[in-house]
Every structure is written in structure tokens, then in C-alpha cells.
Structure 1
């Protein structure tokens, strides 16, 4: 059953990619989507069996993969509750995105190729979450990167899409290099890459030092730090986040798939999977906490100033990933995965809802050119309202349960950065509420700011696009309430059954249930304050934002330009790289080629041109050449005979 679930998307990719033109777009779309719905059904069955049944951790060997000396690696699937959760998230969202794309991509000439790429992306993600060893995980890790490059740059006739795809690929390679170094470190110290063997070696490695370039490091701390660098790139954490907003250049279904349930959550999954090692690396966990909290507040501030509807939601994703890493950093691994689970439903809902808005507005994405759409697209409006309520943490919605638990876990966290994380996460909750309701008010309420003909022809999406919104709305409303008690249980309990690990000193799950009422309600208070600010500034007194921008233009520009991180990277890395590239290019063309192949060829051409002048057809020219040649020959013979040469 697990094998079928994992490989059906691969079969769908091969069918659509190889035979899409022969069988037609519709057949390719139906086959790939059908396979994904079968995988999604199997994923829920596995989730129930492993999370709520008695199924133990299972290792399914598919084949012998590689043998090098003493290193023997099998291609195997690891199935436990953590895997089951990720299978549900990936397959469910991907299946709904496939269905949604029937309508959204209906007029695109490359539909078969698009659906093939979606299935390839899904297969790579499934290989990642079912990996039984680190090299196999890296295979899925890189496969996701490749597929995301193809999907982000799918509209390759747009220079902006090509630039965004290259940026995503390059930035992720930076993080992936750290991930590789982490794998190398673990193998150098323990001699194994299979997960159970690595986990078993964790206690010994925690007392082992690793020397490199004259510097000594604790082996587990170094490995966990390097692995997290990989997670920072894949999950767009502060410093390696710059690719995420630009990825909005891809089709909206791609945004939902990448930013909701798959690629960006790979880093969160990886850190949770490696929890048996991270429990022995408190310094690395403190760093994870700091980066997660910083990312949450950074992305929230930037989201408040964006005007592109998809970019607002993209920065929201970045911020929510920060929440997940903050929870991982304080040792609340199950809570982080719970937020990953709930976030997938309401974030996919928001992205697909935004796609429905863009579809209705004839590809318009600027919220300043919208307004008054609630009457035009009521079903999309209802879906976006549900997604917004869940994202902001409205009581009893999915986001309310998972986000509040993360804030509580940060409050009781024991590492140095836990208090900082608590403050930043509460502030981020306020800003999340503000920019989320700002999006709703600017898009659906107030007078329309759209062109008259665009607003007149705005219409609701078809059933094939609304059905996924309905399913995701149910998840955004009920996923938290239904599953909260399972996810917040102890890692050794019935639900997790050892899929996660908590050390003897990790009491976060127990302590978070004993926080005071004020702490527990702090994110809800922040949510209400953010809503009220957005209500006043964008609905009751819409002139206030303009006044604020006029009075504090630099403050606004700082957030609008994303803390100038892109500009800083351009100054530090891009421009020097281009300078060196031009320098070596000129050296290559002027020096190496000039004295090398191009120079030699040019001189041969010159000599041939000179010799060509004697091919005039006149007898006296040929006689002159012959006499000159004889004279030169006699001169050389005399010189050799007398020892001159």
C-alpha cells in the first residue's frame, strides 16, 4: 500500500510527460489527478492505521541501492506516525491542487507538461518524507528543488519567471550545501547514514569532538547546525528566504503546492525527524529558536506593506514557518508538526482563494486595484474569510489550536532565546491579524478600485475550482479541534509512538499546559488588536494609511523593500560575482583566446590572405615566387654547411 502511494505520482509524471501529446491534454490531466486522489485516499488510511491504530514503525526495503566498502545502503521506505502525517498533508493538498488546476490552467497550451511537473514534485516530496536514510532523503530534497525550478519558471516566456526560478534554485543550493556537510559530518563521526543507526549513535556522538581546520567542535552540535542550514534554505528562514516571494511568478496552483504543504515544510519535517540528535544539541536548538522567531517577526512586518495579494500570503507562509521552527527550537516537536498540519489546509485555501480572485479579475494581483468583490465572488469570499480566520487564530479554528500551543511552548522553553521567541511570536500574531484582514478589506470590501470593464466582468470560478476550496475550508475549520489532543501528546504516547524524541530534560509538553491564563490568551488578544487596527485603517478610515506613509516614508519603505535584504545581497554577492565574471570573461577572450586558438587561427588566416595575393594568374608572379624560394633554399643550405645555423 505504501509503495503504491509513493510511486503513483511518478507513474502519473511519466505518463503525462512521455505521452501527453499523443493522448491529449485531458487524458494526461485526468490520469495524473486520478493517481493523486488514490494516493491521498491511501495516505488517510495509513494515517489512521499508524496514528490511531497499533501499527509499529515499519521499514520497507525496495532494493539494494549502493555498496561502497563497508557502506551498504538500501532504498527503503520508513513508515511511522510522522511519515503518515506528512503523507496526508502532501497527498491531500497535491490532489486538490491538481483538481483546481483543471480550471485555473484551462487556457494554458502546456497543461499536460504542467500536470507532469506537479506529479514529479509530489513524488520527490514523498521520497523525502519516506526516506529511511540521509542520502535517500537528500535525493528527495534535491528532487523537490528541481521540480520547484520547473514549476516556478513554467511560464518561461516571462523574464521575471525565469529569474525567479533561477533565484530559487541558487539560494536553495546554498542551504543544500550545508545539508550535505551535515550528512558528511555524521558519516565521518558515526560511519552510518541509516536513520535508526544514526539515532543510536547520538549519545556517543554528543561526547565526541570533531576537528576541522584546527578548530574543535562537538560532533552533534556541528552536524545539527549544518543540517539546519539546509532547512533554512528549503523552508525560507531569515537569511535564505529571498527566493520565496519571487516564487510567486509561477502559476497560483504552484504557489499553493510549494508554500502550503510541500517544499517549504521539508525543513520542518527534517528537523523533527532528526529530533533524537537535536535533543543532544542544545546550542543548535537555541539557534533554531532564534532564527524561527526572527523569521516570524521579519516576514510579518514585510507582509504588512505588500500590495500583491500573492506576496502577502507568501510572506505569511514565511512567518508561519518561523513559528514552526521556534517550536522545534524549544523542543516542542509535535506542536511544530501540528502547526505544519493545520497550516497546510488554511494556507492552501488562501492561495487557491487568491487564485480564484486573480482569475475573476483577469490576472490582476494588485490589491490597490480591487475592492468590493464580496458580491461578485461570494463563494471565494467565504473561503478566504475562513482561511483568514484560521490563519489569524480565531477561536476554535485550526490555526487557533496550533499557533497558541506554539506561543505557550515558547513561553515555557528553557533555552536562552525562548523568551525572545515568545515576545516575537505574540507581536507576529498581531501583525498577522493586521495584514490578513487588510487583504480581506482591500480585496472584498469598500468601493471598487478596479477598472470598470474588469469589475463588470468579474465572475465566480467554476465548480472544479470551488470544490477544492470547500474541502480545504473544512480542514481549516476542523483540523485543529479534531486532532489537537493527538498531536500535543507525549512523543512516547500512543499517537507518536516514538516517531519523535524528547530527552529526559525536555518537559515542554507538560509545562505548556500549566501556563497562566494571560499567557494562553496573549495571541488571541494580539489577534483582536490586529483586526481592530485593520478595521479602522482600511475600512472605517481608509485615508489613514496614506497619512502614515506621508509622515513616515522611510519606515514604510523599509518594510516595503523587505528590510533591504535583497539589496544587501546584491551589493555583497551579486555585484562582486558579476565583476569577477566579467573580469575572467575578458581575460578569457583577450588573453587565453587571443594567444590561443583564436590568435593562432587569426595568424593562419593572415598568412593565407598574404599568400593569396600571389595567386594572380600572371606567369611572372609565379616565376618570382619560384626564384625567391630557390634563393631561400640555397641560402639555408650554405648556412647549414658552414655551421651558421
Structure 2
């Protein structure tokens, strides 16, 4: 069966190709084709899951892709426990998002093109996780970047959407440079870019310690760009300009998980350098706190969830940075997060769909009465995210916090403490979102939308809420199934290695109780503050921390100061040097020759007497020079 694993990529890729070639002729059935191809890919992924021997790694060569002297790159796919885990997540959650999109995009004239881009996204992500070499991974990496650009900028009439798409594209290119440089180092030392050859070369000692560390840090840079980690996190909240199904696809099952996948896949590299693993854990720690803090200050429901994703990916990066003890924990949280975060984004889309595309939570309130299914499914996702006992996040996120505390020395206290604080802040901003949206006074009754229409909230169509119900079931059960049944850790062990025993300073269940207590404090504080009447207009007189959080903790300002403005100045300086220096020298020489030839041309009069006079003058000058030399 693994020999036909190429079908996983071919099905959604074929759907994208047909829809793009057919164009408007696919308007009536394009959404059905797009959904069917991803559904078939999911079904085939399930077949592989139950039939493939994932205790071993199977590499399948499809064809010779880049035969160029010493550089021999085959296009091949790798089926193992890690790749199949991502296949099921990408196609399973992606399939539900496709079904949801049928209802959400029903009134969009370009729906067939939207589904083509969704299929391209899924196909690119499958290439990324199934490729058996870093160059194949890079192909999927860039395909995901292209698809995200097209989908984030879907509403082309909005300048903000065009800007957000361009910002995502450019910031991801920064990370892609790091990934490309890492691949160059691999080829230099290993003579190959295949996973098997590179990892074998690491084990054989062909890489110097400095090369391994540099390579790992460059891989991390690529992961930071794709997964929206510090300092390249600023594009991720702006990606909310795209339709809500895009937000769910990017944030839950595909693009932002690619960085975590990259670090987990490259575990032989990161295991060989403690310095790089430390940097990974520090990046994850800073990012999870940054996402929590900013999420507390936003009123845009989608941006709160976006920063929640930034924070949760930070937890995953912290886990995979810890190393063999927590690689599986990071992947477990990634899968559980795929369920409840996709459900939360689809729930937010359901709310927006019912509220004339309004995203300001201050204009919501009391929607649980009008949208009971959305309220329940969203509420289950909320409980899973904050780590409510026995739901998914309780098992997966709490395990990461425990692993952080189990580290030796200052790392345990600093990173474990930050992760624990993040749990409390997560409960605070998510409870704030729940209360402002579904509880309290129905503030929307006193308002009108920007185009003058009144709000009439209602439950979404079944094609939209059925996927939300299915995802909410994953929010309830996924984490517990992973944690209570140790088979998931055993399942990933052939790829990420066996996890050694953790040694917590306190009892594990006591640690879980502390995490739950901190989360409960955050939730209660948010309930006490926001259960009262919430002003419809955002207060302007706020603390410095709130102002900073509203400005993304000055992440955009930092990027503009350190990268954008210096880059602009450098480009202007280079243009000046090019125009006045390089072009000036070339153009100046050409002008000199042209001017000189023009002046010499005047000597060509056509009169014989002029030429004779010139010859006579030349003769006298020659004789004078000879006499001067003779008598000097």
C-alpha cells in the first residue's frame, strides 16, 4: 500500500488543477470536486494507517527529480508514524473545513477558485510531511506559502487583505532563507539532502559540532517563519483577513504546524546540539507568553484566536525543544490542538456568519440563546484549550508543562513557570472571549452594522455545524486517548525515539492540580470582570501594558525598526550606488566616446586642401619632434 502513497498528494493536486483549468465552468460543481478529493485522500490515509507497518520507515522513489552531477535528488515519499499522523490530521481536519466551506462560501462568486486554492494548500502540506528529502520538503514548504498568499488575500478589494497576504508572504521568505541555507550545509557535509543520508551522516560524525548547531538554528528560523514564532510571529494575526475557513486551515491543521513537524522530523540533528535545543525552548517560551498577553487585549474574535494559536504553537515548540523526553508530547498537543482550534475558528466563523461578518466581541453578547449548537461546540473547544479536567488540553498541554518543570536547573523553573503562567493567561483571555460573545447583555440589539442592516443572529446551516460537532468530539476525547493509552508514544518512538522517564520534584497529579488551579483563577478573574456590562466602544484610557498588547507588544514596530527600515535604506543606497556609480561609470564612458567621436567627426570636411594642410602640419610637427630629440 505504501508504494501508492503518491495518491495522497495526487488527489487534492488533481482537484486543484481541474478547478483552475476549468475556471468559471466549474462554478456549479467545483466545491463538490474539491471536497471529494480531500475526502478520498483522508479515506486512503486511514487505509494506510491500518495496513502500513509504521514500526519501520518506508521510502518510495517516484522518479529522479534533479540529476546534476554530484547533486542527485529523487522525488520520493516517506511513510512512517510521524508522516501518517500528519496525513490524518491534514486530510481529516481539512476535509471537515472543506465541508464547512461549502456553506460558508455559498454566496461567493469565486467559490470554485477558493476550493482550488484549498486543495492546493492541502496538496502542498502533504508533500511537505511526506517528502523523504529536505528539498522535497522545501517544495511543499513553498507551495504552502503560495497557497496561503492566495487565500489570505482572497478579498482582493480590501487593501488590508492585500497587505496581510504580502506581509505573510514576505515574512515567510525570511524563514525560508534559513531553511535553504540549512539544506546547503547538509549537502556540503553529507553530499545529499535525503533524510536517511543526512541523519546517517550525523551519526557517523561527518558534521562538525559548529555545523550541526548552525544547521539546527537555521532550521529553527524556517520553523519560526512558518509557525509564527518569535520574532516572525507578526504575520499570523494579520492572516485573519482571509475567509474564516482559511484561518481554520492555516491555524489548526496545516501551515503553522509545519515548523513543529520540521523540528520533530529533524530530531537527530537537534539531539546532537544542546545549544540549539535551548534556543528552541526559549523561542517557544517567549512566544507562548507573547501570544497570551496580546490575546488578552484584542476585541477581534478571530485575532484573539490567532494569538491563541501563536501561544499554543509556542507550547509545542517548547516541548520539541526539550528533546527526547517531550517530542511525542509536542506532537500529541499538536493533534489535539488541530481538533479544538479548528472547532473554535469554525465557531467564530459561524458567529460572524450570523452577525453580518462583524468580528468585534463588544458588539456581541447573549448569543448562546440564538446559536445553541455553536455555543456548545465552541464551549467544548474553549474548555479543551484552557485545560479543563479530562478534556484534550488537560492531558496534552499539562503534560508539556510538567515536562518543562522536569528540566534540570534554571530551565525547569523559568520555562515551567512561564508555561504555568501561560495556562492562567490562556484561561483569562478565552473566558473573556466566551463571556463577551455568548453571555451577558445582548448588545447587538442596540446596534446596526456598518452598511445599516440590523443584526439578526441565527444558527448556521447543518453543512456548517455538523463539522463543528465532529471537531468538538475530538476536543473532548483526543487528548485522553493519547495520554491514557501509551500506544501513541510507542507509535511515534521509531521516529522520535523512546521518551525517558520524567523526574518531577513533586507528584505528577499534584502538578496537574496546580495547573488546573492556576487556570481556574484566570477564568474566574475574567468572569468577574466581564460578566458585567461591557462598553460597546473600546476604552482608550488604559494601562501601558494594555496599550502595548493592543500594538502586538510592538512586534511590528520592532520588525520595522530592525529589518524593514534598514532594508529600505540599504536598498535606496544600493540604487544610488548603482545609478550614480555603476551606471554612471558605464554611461559616462559611453557619453565620452560619443562626444569625442562627434567632435572628431567635424574634421572630416571633404575638402582636399584641408587634408593637405593637415598632412603638412603633421609633417612639421614630426620634424620638430625629431630635431628636439637629436639636439637634446
- Work out whether the TM-score is over 0.5: yes
> How far is 1:630 from its partner?
7.8
Structure 2 equivalent of residue 104 of structure 1: 104
Structure 1 equivalent of residue 492 of structure 2: 496
Distance 2:530 2:80 in 1: 47
Distance 1:641 1:110 in 2: 85
Q: Given the alignment, which residue of 388, 398, 405 partners 1:411? A: 405
Distance 2:10 2:409 in 1: 41
> How far is 1:571 from its partner?
2.1
Distance 1:222 1:584 in 2: 29
Equivalent positions of 1:163-562 (< 5 A) are 163-205=163-205, 210=208, 218-331=210-323, 332-414=326-408, 417-450=411-444, 451-452=447-448, 456-486=455-485, 490=489, 493=490, 495-502=491-498, 507-508=500-501, 510-511=502-503, 515-540=507-532, 542=534, 550=541, 553-562=543-552
> How far is 1:420 from its partner?
1.5
> How far is 1:385 from its partner?
0.7
Cα distance per residue 1:545-564 (max 9 Å; x no partner): 989x74x5212111111111
Report the CA distance shift for 1:635/1:444 in structure 2 as closer, same or farther (over 3 A): farther
Q: Given the alignment, which residue of 46, 53, 56 partners 1:44? A: 46
Equivalent positions of 1:81-96 (< 5 A) are 81-96=81-96
Distance 2:89 2:125 in 1: 11
1:330, 1:414 within 8 Å by CA — same for their partners in 2?
Answer: no
Distance 1:567 1:631 in 2: 71
Distance 2:576 2:109 in 1: 41
Distance 1:546 1:30 in 2: 42
Distance 1:482 1:633 in 2: 107
Q: Given the alignment, which residue of 15, 18, 21 partners 2:18? A: 15
> How far is 1:93 from its partner?
1.5
Distance 2:397 2:89 in 1: 18
Query: What's the TM-score, normalizing by structure 1?
Result: 0.86
Report the CA distance shift for 1:569/1:70 in structure 2 as closer, same or farther (over 3 A): closer
Structure 2 equivalent of residue 612 of structure 1: none
Equivalent positions of 1:608-627 (< 5 A) are none
Distance 2:405 2:418 in 1: 11
1:370, 1:443 within 8 Å by CA — same for their partners in 2?
Answer: yes
Distance 1:316 1:124 in 2: 25
> How far is 1:568 from its partner?
1.9
> How far is 1:487 from its partner?
5.8
Query: What's the TM-score, normalizing by structure 2?
Result: 0.88
Structure 1 equivalent of residue 598 of structure 2: none
2:355, 2:455 within 8 Å by CA — same for their partners in 1?
Answer: no
> How far is 1:56 from its partner?
3.4
Report the CA distance shift for 1:6/1:515 in structure 2 as closer, same or farther (over 3 A): farther
Distance 2:608 2:411 in 1: 89
> How far is 1:57 from its partner?
2.4
Report the CA distance shift for 1:562/1:581 in structure 2 as closer, same or farther (over 3 A): same
Structure 2 equivalent of residue 575 of structure 1: 565
1:350, 1:384 within 8 Å by CA — same for their partners in 2?
Answer: yes
1:593, 1:599 within 8 Å by CA — same for their partners in 2?
Answer: no
> How far is 1:65 from its partner?
1.9
1:394, 1:524 within 8 Å by CA — same for their partners in 2?
Answer: yes
> How far is 1:532 from its partner?
0.0
RMSD between aligned residues: 3.2
Distance 1:193 1:577 in 2: 31
1:282, 1:415 within 8 Å by CA — same for their partners in 2?
Answer: no
> Structure 1 residues 513-522 or 26-35, which shifts more?
513-522
Residue aligned with 2:492, SS: coil
> Structure 1 residues 41-50 or 578-587, which shifts more?
578-587
2:56, 2:494 within 8 Å by CA — same for their partners in 1?
Answer: no
> How far is 1:248 from its partner?
0.9
> Structure 1 residues 310-319 or 470-479, which shifts more?
470-479
